[in-house]
Amino acid sequence: MPVMTMAHALNDALDVKLGQDPDTLIFGQDVGYFGGVFRVTEGLQKKYGLERCFDTPIAEGGIIAAAIGMGVFGLRPVPEIQFVDYLWPGFDQIVSEASRLRYRSNSQFWAPITIRAPYGGGIFGGMTHSQSPEAILAHVTGIKTVIPSNPYDAKGLLLASIEDDDPVIFLEPKRLYNGPFDGRIDRPVRNWAEEPTADVPGGHYTVPLGKAAIVREGGDITVLAYGTMVHVARAGIEDSGYDAELIDLRSIVPLDVDTIVASVEKTGHCVIVHEASRFGGFGAELSALIQERCFVHLEAPIERVAGYDTPYPHTFEWDYFPGPARVSAALRRVLEF
Amino acid sequence: MARFEFRLPDIGEGIAEAEIVRWHVRVGDRISEDQGVADMMTDKATVEMESPVSGIITELGGEVGDRVPIGSPLLVIETDDVEAFPPAPEPASTAKAELDAAGGLAPEPEHTIDSPSDAESVLESGPEMTEVIAPQSEARPLASPAVRARAKALGVDLAHVKAQDGKRIRHADLDIFLSYGAAQGYRPAGARRADEAIKIIGMRRRIAEKMAASKRNIPHFNYVEEIDVTGLEAMRADLNANRGDRPKLTMLPFLIVAICKALPDFPMMNARFDDEAGVVTRHGAVHLGMATQTDRGLMVPVIRDAQDRNIWQLSAEITRLAEAARSGKATSEELSGSTLTITSLGPLGGIASAPVINRPEVAIIGPNRVVERPVIRNGEIVAAKLMNLSISCDHRVIDGWDAASYVQAVRKMLETPVLLFAD
Amino acid sequence: MAERERGLYIPAPRARPGQAPDFSDMVIPSAGAVRRPPADSAESELRHLPYTLIRVLDDDGCAKGEWAPESDVDMLRQGLRAMMKTRIIDDRMFRAHRQAKTTFYAKSTGEEAIGAAQALALDHKVMFFSSYRTLSWLMLREYPLIDLFNQIFGNARDPLQGRQLSILYSARDYGFYALSGNLGSRFGHAVGWAMAAAYRKSDAIALAHVGDGTSAEGSFHEAMTFASVYKAPAILCIVNNQWAISSFAGIAGAREVTFAAKALAYGVPGLRVDGNDFLAVMAATRWAVERIRAGLGATLIEFVTYRAAGHSTSDDPSKYRPAEEAAHWPLGDPIHRLKQHLIAIGEWSDSRHVQAETELIEQVRSAQKEAEAIGTFGKSKPPVREMFEGVFKDPDWRVLEQRRELGI
């Protein structure tokens, strides 16, 4: 099986889809000729032609509106928003239109669009290139939000998202495009080639939406994470020495609540790790769900390891970014409660 | 962890063995002190055995139907730490182990007391009350949801449990409290269970109907007399010591001999009253019904012509019929035709009883438990073995005088046992 | 009246309640005055059109000039009926709202020609990304009245299952895209749809409407950019009815530039058309279709018209404009003008008009009764289970659990 970086795996997914389905189109800023600022669409215009993968004006609302119109016609558009930080001009299209179209038309019309966007920090990108808005997206009924943490999942989840008939926001952890990253900034940058999850089969396969992955089985405590934080959490667990069960959510919506509940019932302890700021973050919803469903099993409060409640800073990247030390400290506090 | 062998005690006054009729537990089960583990059948009766310790069953001493000699291990239990108060286990792992044991459904964790069963040793070597019981306070006790759920399932009021860290009650605090609490009365009487509706059908229904008819139609009266069986027991012991390979004798054959021998002078006792026809038939033969407790309920196999049998024959027949009744193999001839019935609960027999007559018979005899008590003989206090004998009679056709005289006749033979064998 | 005393200039309409209606700054060319350039002209040759007003019917109902379309009189009568039916429904439903039979209604009084004429000018391969003021399109296309009323009443047979506000219809089979209450956000969907049609080499066309006020939304401009850049086969219309609730068109920039002239910034033709002139609307729409067929992409059309009634059942226009302003509108009434034209060419009469009106009233009335028999708002609704349907293609565990909480 070929070893692929996450960027390659995503590119491969798009290549497969463009090859299989003439109704799939890709567009966004700089994605066509140039191949995208993170190279995820590299080579696709050359291979499939101008009409299949093209550049758009800088108008996120226009991009998403056009995608919705195309989807209504019967195509399967995959627009890219260059950084999810720029989603906001197009947010009206997502909330007011895409998320409600099927509902308000009694399924006469629907928008099978997949909006791809790089998200998350760890790259000194500051507050306009590092945001994690999944909590805001989770709260919009009628859209799905998917976040892979490794190349294998990235390709499979992207294919599944494109083939899903509902609108999907596909957030790609930009820190992981070219290598895994566990937050250990004192060590050399690592390669995807070292990770088994970089073995990506060629051709078509999917990873189902709404199914979490148990990355590491354990009995002491449940750790929930997604995106880059899956790797950070794993490092924190190793450093702590606890026998933690690490779950990669993979889908924010639809959420695999059964896997989460089974794990917390088993361990009685839970720590949630996300880059996004803590207050009103997705960890808050997970905490609410867990305390509703696992209350009598809980031996200690649920803790969230998260970004601080500030805009994403620049120079303070590693102070802000939740690293393995914060994760192990949280595990210790919870287990020694 | 300690290995505890629960050896089968003598449950039938000198019986040699008892038969396993039913297990209530399996290997691997976690049990608590006083929990019923098996039903054992003796000559007289079926007795439920209760475990003296808590722990996990690791071995069973046999299968249903096996006879277990008195004194041999009935089952083996792996008890929890034998120390009076073990160091507090990891709350997480304990709770988790319990959850595992309980099959994952938290609301009813089965946490057992980690202490020896001997309540005295708890009192002697246990913690001081001040270490375990929370001081009176208005403040609401603090505990994690899991600890609260466990306390609630156990019926423990957290207000009584002392938090060792002074702030929050943990699983370990609950463990200590429970081990203390069982002996000090903090353990609630039990958990509320759901009502259970059982249809009265089959044999149970027949028994119910028969009992009701008996009481409805027969004006019962009851007479109890105390019998000194010291001598009889000594004789029985002698006979058993010299029995060879014959099965051990219980009290019952002796009693039956006495009953049969006294009857010719009191024929009204061994009769059937057809109250519709208004005819009492005094039987010549003594077909003695033996009320026997089985899984399916009360059955009365019949020793036919008991008057013709000797002690050893009676003993064998009693065993055979009890086995047949319990295994369901008794024929209907064996289960009917009694003229007089005897009902014994063995060590459960109490000190007096008022049994229900096996209609259309006119009397039923209920020997009670043998107890050792001080009596005065020749002005001296001595230990004697005493057994009350209860009898219920149909007052329509038996007068008190007759019943009492009959019992005195039986008594005389039992108190001077040589008379059982003399003419 | 400009308020130069203030530092910041705030535009205001010429007449407020109590003042005389004032349309004196409207430049109205006579019917037929504007020439009709070929639809495949270069855009640079069309740059004067946004500053004129294309009119066909004169004040006597005669069709004048190069823009006069060839039209079948049956089609025109069909158009007239559709407009009349629209007006009858508007009247009845507005009263139904006052009777608490519905929670909301918006009339299209004075604008009926636009939807009906475009529905005639375009074939069935069009998707109409409309505003909420184009009932006449659905009436021309014979959308079943019972379905219309069931949706307005939100009753058990509402085709949209009680999920959407009254009058925000969806009718895919009639080429009518699902309305949302948001302004301008669907304009770009029309462009995307048209781009898809082009991609698939289909001859389908997208038609879209926004109002004068809505043309200020960013979504309008983004859609125009995309339409221009990708030469989308779309007909994009600004229906300038002079009022956006209580804000006159000057708040959206009408004083500075015509709405049609916004086309110039995007390099597409901008036609400015008398929206109360049935024939002019048809003609302009056909011209835009021809242009698309010539491979030259989108056209922006401004329809100059007047919102004769209030914005909706929640609005009272006498609070912000002269009560008789509608009556003074210089471009007249669309139903009257088409009727007058048909009479002028001998294809209609007053008595036929009265008869048609009677028939249409009866048709509407009986459909309304049928819908009322099913139930009006609050008295009848679809099963509550429908509240949970259609969020996603397949329901997820959240709505299933929440349904169970409600016991359904």
- Residue B259 vs residues B237, B267, B401, B408, B410: alpha-carbon distances, Å: 21, 11, 17, 11, 6
B65: left (phi over 0), alpha (psi -120 to 50) or beta: left
> Does residue A285 have a pLDDT over 80?
yes
Residues B281, B409, single domain; the answer is: yes
| Closest chain B residue by Cα to residue A293 | B106
**Same domain, yes or no: B89 and B34:** yes
Cα dihedral: A15, A19, A23, A27 (round 10):
30
Minimal CA separation from C265 to chain A, in Å = 15
Q: Kind and range of the H or E element at B136?
A: none
Domain of residue C337, CATH code: 3.40.50.970
In a domain, C34, yes or no: no
User: Does residue B358 sit within a domain?
Assistant: yes
**Residue ranges per domain, chain A?**
6-198, 213-335
DSSP code of A98?
Answer: I
CATH code of the domain covering residue B43: 2.40.50.100
The verdict on residue B210 lying in a domain is no
Lowest pLDDT segment from B187-191, B339-343, B381-385? B187-191
Please provide the distance, in angstroms rounded to a whole number, between the alpha carbons at the two ends of chain A: 45
Known catalytic residue at A129: yes
Specify whether the CB–CB gap between A212 and A289 falls below 8 A: no
Is C3 part of a structural domain of the chain?
A: no
B243 with B167, same domain? Answer: no
- Give me the residues of A, 181-240, that contact C with CB < 8 A: 210
Average pLDDT of chain A is 97
**Omega cis (within 30) before B107:** no
Does any domain span residue C285? yes
Same-domain check for residues B186 and B230: no
The pLDDT of residue B95: 39
Number of separate domains in chain B: 3
Taking CB atoms and an 8 Å cutoff, what residues of chain B touch A296? 106-107, 145-146, 148-149
- Looking at residue B363, its pLDDT comes to 97
Residues of A in contact with C392 (CB under 8 A): 102, 142, 144, 166
Domain presence at residue C8? no
d(CA C108, CA B97): 72
d(CA B177, CA C229): 79
Domain final position from B53, B80, B102: B102
Backbone angles phi, psi at B374, to 5 degrees: -75, 135
A219, A265, A299 member nearest B104 (Cβ): A265
- Dump pLDDT digits (tens) for B315-330: 999 999 999 999 988 8
Q: At B225, which amino acid appears?
A: E
pLDDT in the model for residue C7: 87
The mean predicted confidence, pLDDT, of chain B is: 84
Contact C192 A68 (CB under 8 A): yes
- Residue B48's pLDDT band, with cuts at 50, 70 and 90, is confident
Count the helix, strand and coil residues of chain B and give each as a percent rounded to the nearest 5. 30, 25, 40
Rounded CA separation A336/B168 (Å): 13
| CB within 8 Å of B327: residues ≥ 6 apart | none
pLDDT at B44: 57
Of B378, B310, B318, the residue nearest B342 (C-alpha): B318
Q: How many CB pairs under 8 A join A and B?
A: 40
Residue C210 lies in a domain: yes
On chain A, the residues whose CB falls within 8 A of the CB of B96 are 219, 266-268
B120 lies in a domain? no
CATH for A213-335, among 3.40.50.920, 2.120.10.30, 3.40.50.11740, 3.40.50.300? 3.40.50.920
A313-327 confidence digits (pLDDT tens): 999 999 999 999 999
Q: How far is A305 from chain B (nearest CA, A)?
A: 21
Q: Residue written as tokens 């287990």?
A: A335
HSE, side-chain direction, 13 A CA sphere, residue A82: 20
Predicted confidence (pLDDT) per residue in B70-98, tens digit: 778 888 888 875 443 333 343 343 434 44
Within-domain flag for B94? yes
| Residue B324 parent element (H or E) | helix B311-327
Q: Is the pLDDT of residue C311 over 90?
A: yes
- Subunits with at least 3 CB pairs below 8 A relative to chain C? A
CA angle B5, B8, B14 (to 5 degrees): 150
Q: Are residues B183 and B248 in the same domain?
A: no
Interatomic CA distance for residues C297 and C290, integer angstroms: 10
Give the helix/strand (H/E) hosting C301. Answer: strand C299-304
* Residue contact A298–B146, C-beta within 8 A: yes
List the one residue out of C240, C277, C341, C242 whose CA is nearest residue C55: C277
Is residue B127 situated within a structural domain? Answer: no
pLDDT confidence of residue B182 = 62
Q: Which domain holds residue C352?
A: 47-308+327-377
- Cβ contact (<8 Å) for C223 and A141? no
Nearest to B182 by CA among B131, B110, B102, B117: B117
A129-163: pLDDT as tens digits: 999 999 999 999 999 999 999 999 999 999 999 99
Specify the pTM. 0.71
Structure tokens at A168: 């999907």
Q: What is the assigned CATH class of domain A6-198? A: alpha beta
For chain C, the domain total comes to 1
Sort residue B270 into left (φ over 0), alpha (ψ -120 to 50) or beta: beta
Answer yes or no: is C232 within a domain. yes
Which residues of chain C make contact with A103, given a CB cutoff of 8 A? Answer: 163, 390-391
* Chain A interface includes C200 (CB < 8 A): yes
Q: Domain for residue C198, yes or no?
A: yes
pLDDT of B102 higher than 50: no
Domain containing B227 equals 218-421
Chains C and B touch (3+ CB pairs under 8 A): no
User: What's residue C3's pLDDT?
Assistant: 58
Confidence (pLDDT) at B15: 64
User: Is residue C28 situated within a structural domain?
Assistant: no
Cis-peptide into A254, omega within 30 deg? yes
Q: Which two tokens stand for residue C315?
A: 């609005």
pLDDT in tens, C180-189: 989 999 999 9
Residue C1 burial class via C-beta count within 10 angstroms: exposed 0-12, middle 13-18, buried 19 and up: exposed
What is the residue type of C301?
A: I
Instruction: Return the pLDDT at B11.
Output: 67
Top pLDDT among B167 and C210 is at C210
Most A CBs within 10 A among B144, B147, B168, hence the mutation to make, goes to B144
Chain B, window 136-155: residues with a beta carbon less than 8 angstroms from a chain A beta carbon: 144-149
- Same domain flag for B289 and B391: yes
Q: Which residues on A lie below 8 Å from B146 (Cβ)? A: 268, 296-299
| Pairwise CA distance, residues A162 & A5, whole Å | 20
The pLDDT mean for chain C works out to 96
Residue-wise pLDDT tens digits, C350-394:
999 999 999 999 999 999 999 999 999 999 999 999 999 999 999
- B116 in any annotated domain: no
- Largest interatomic CA distance in chain C: 68
User: Which residue of the set A8, A129, A231, A269 is catalytic?
Assistant: A129
Q: Is A57 helix (H, G, I), strand (E, B) or coil?
A: coil
Residue A306 near residue A337, CB atoms below 8 Å: no
Cβ-proximal residues to C156 (8 Å cutoff; 6+ apart), any chain: C374, C375, C380, C381, C382, C383
For residue B147, being part of any structural domain is answered with: yes
Q: Could you please report the per-residue DSSP string of B232-291?
A: HHHHHHHHHHT-TTSPPP-SHHHHHHHHHHHGGG-GGGSEEEETTTTEEEE-SS--EEEE
The two tokens of residue B336 are: 């009917």
Residues C393, A142: C-beta atoms closer than 8 Å: no
Catalytic residue numbers of B, as ranges: 395, 399
Residue A130 contacts residue A312 (beta carbons within 8 Å): yes
pLDDT at residue B107 is higher than 80: no
pLDDT at C1: 56
CA distance A225 to A182: 12
Task: Check residue B180 and give its pLDDT.
Answer: 77
Q: Using only C-alpha atoms, what is the Rg of chain C?
A: 22
Question: How far apart are alpha carbons A211 and A228 in whole angstroms?
Answer: 18
For a pLDDT cut of 90, what percent of chain B falls above it? 51
Does B185 reach chain A within 8 Å, measured CB to CB? no
Pair B279, B233 in one domain: yes
Between C73-98 and C278-293, two packed helices, what is the crossing angle to 10 degrees? 110
Q: Report yes or no on B113 lying in a domain.
A: no
